[in-house]
Amino acid sequence: MTRFLINTLARLRQARGGTLGSIALGVFALLCSALATSCNVNGVGIFYGLENEKKIVTTGTLSNKLTIGSMVHVAGYYYAATGTIYSSPDEDGGGIGASLSWTPLTPPVSGAICTQLVSLDPRSSTNQTVYAIFVTDSAPTVASISGTAQVYEGTASGGSISWTAISAFSNMYAQNLIVENGSLFVDVSTIVNTDTVSTALQYSVYYWNGTTATQLSLGGQTNFVSPIISGAYDYGYSGGQYWLATGSPILQGSTWYQLFTSTNPAGGSFSTGPALPVPSGLDGGQLQVSRLYYSPASSAGKNVYGRAFSGLGALFISTRNGYVYAWLDGGSWLGPASITGPNGQLVGLTGVVDTGTYLGTSDALIVGSDIGYYEMDVTPPLTSSSSFSFISPNGTNDLTTDLNYTAASLYNLSILNFLLDPNPTNTTDVRIFAGTVGGAATVINGGGGLWRLEPQSNGTWPGTWSQD
């Protein structure tokens, strides 16, 4: 083939010479280059994506402009916090594509905005206790901090929530709520004077046992420069451990720590946990945790919303600069896996969810990011020899999550959180909700708001995304 091309080029040049010969030569070279080169900077084949594209349908009544900050599933209802809390019957028995009807709920204080909503026991299908932060002021000031970001305890029933303020936090500006294993942790911020003229926010974390708020020390420290960003209860490690992560690493000696563990939060202290392995070229101080998520293995026998769950048996830690770590139940690290965006940049990671074996014999761990989500498919449980890498959904795996991910604006949205509804009422209709950042600009591209992933109409996976 090469000899043919060379000889043909020589004949063209010799036979025609002049302008026409040069032009013909150029055309021939163009053809040859076309045969030799092709490239795609994407994760999904264009034609493949088109042949599998399904029209995005709207299955609910929420605006696509909304930012879904958090979402819970309590006693037959979904509750989504978008500033206003909306509720809808879950329609778990309504079949694939069942339409959700969302109703706004009245806040406990007129004009208050809900910044976070959590369920006391997200694994329970009957638990009705929820917690929320309602803000009545945009930011704390030195002069007025009381009542501006109040923690409320609520009882969710029939699509509505009755609220009671937790007085122990009345004089604190609540920043973040973490619920793990039936325990509530509240991260609060206070104003401190850094010098005679400057002030700064300082963060601390409390354990709430239902009657008393106990301030916690993490690694011997009680005040932090960044919020306590996330937590988890690791059932499988050392008999069960609570984990908390600071938003910014803490330097102790020569080691940076982001993770802290305890078996008894009521005792008031967390010890330093294992330090994150530092990727080559980075410093430990550059690893800022964004989310903790524990996926119990089947031996732990933990349910999700009343349905048996068989997961990976590891605590997953995501960072803001695109790394995902796994702390295995046996007490060792796996990873990190780095996640790069479509332009090769590291992406900030957000929510995490494990689909367990609901979608098939394999398991899909899904990690949200500033730009869409990424997926790791592995046969559970996770071991030290497991493949630990993430890909952008491309529909080739037997349970990979998408048929129209690339068609939906979801692939380009900032995803804040996921909610898995394994649907014990109709076990075929497993649902995964993605809460995204909304706004007018996103509507141009199909919208933000709440997205729902369900199986195809015949009950098989990969599934299709729709907008609620």
Closest-CA residue to 185 (of 250, 236, 230, 147): 230
Give me the least distance between CB of 119 and another protein, in Å please: 33
Give me the least distance between CB of 386 and another protein, in Å please: 17
Q: By three-state DSSP, how is residue 150 classified? A: strand
Closest-CA residue to 389 (of 374, 404, 400, 401): 374
Nearer to another protein, 27 or 251 (CB): 27
Q: By three-state DSSP, how is residue 16 classified? A: helix
Nearer to another protein, 63 or 412 (CB): 412
Nearer to another protein, 332 or 340 (CB): 340
Give me the least distance between CB of 448 and another protein, in Å please: 16
For tokens 């908390």, what's the residue? 244
Query: Two tokens at 60?
Result: 């609910």
Nearer to another protein, 80 or 403 (CB): 403
Give me the least distance between CB of 20 and another protein, in Å please: 6
Degrees (nearest 5) of the Cα angle 104, 447, 420?
A: 65
CB 245 within 8 A of CB 176: no
Q: By three-state DSSP, how is residue 344 classified? A: coil
Give me the least distance between CB of 40 and another protein, in Å please: 5
User: What CA–CA distance (Å, rounded) separates 305 from 246?
Assistant: 28
Q: Report the b/e string of 427-443 with b at 16+ CB within 10 A.
A: eebbbbbbbbbbbeebe
Nearer to another protein, 381 or 446 (CB): 446
Radius of gyration over alpha carbons of the chain, in Å? Answer: 26
Which residues are within 8 A (CB) of 21 and not within 5 positions of it... i.e. 6 or more apart? 12, 13, 15
Nearer to another protein, 313 or 462 (CB): 462
Beta bridge partners of 375: 366, 391
DSSP per-residue letters across 248-317: EEEEETTEEEEEEEES-GGGSEEEE-PPPPPPTT--GGG--EEEEEEE--GGG--EETTEE-----EEEE
Give me the least distance between CB of 371 and another protein, in Å please: 10
Binding footprint of another protein on the chain (CB under 8 A): 20, 23-24, 27-28, 30-31, 33-35, 37-51, 53-56, 342, 391-392, 394, 396, 404, 406-408, 412, 446
Kind plus residue range of the DSSP H or E element containing 6: helix 2-16
Give me the least distance between CB of 408 and another protein, in Å please: 7
Closest-CA residue to 278 (of 247, 319, 230): 319
CB 426 within 8 A of CB 95: yes
Give me the least distance between CB of 413 and another protein, in Å please: 13
Give me the least distance between CB of 53 and another protein, in Å please: 5
Give me the least distance between CB of 406 and another protein, in Å please: 7
User: What CA–CA distance (Å, rounded) separates 59 from 463?
Assistant: 15
DSSP per-residue letters across 302-321: -EETTEE-----EEEEEETT
Nearer to another protein, 24 or 109 (CB): 24
Nearer to another protein, 18 or 111 (CB): 18
Give me the least distance between CB of 55 and another protein, in Å please: 4
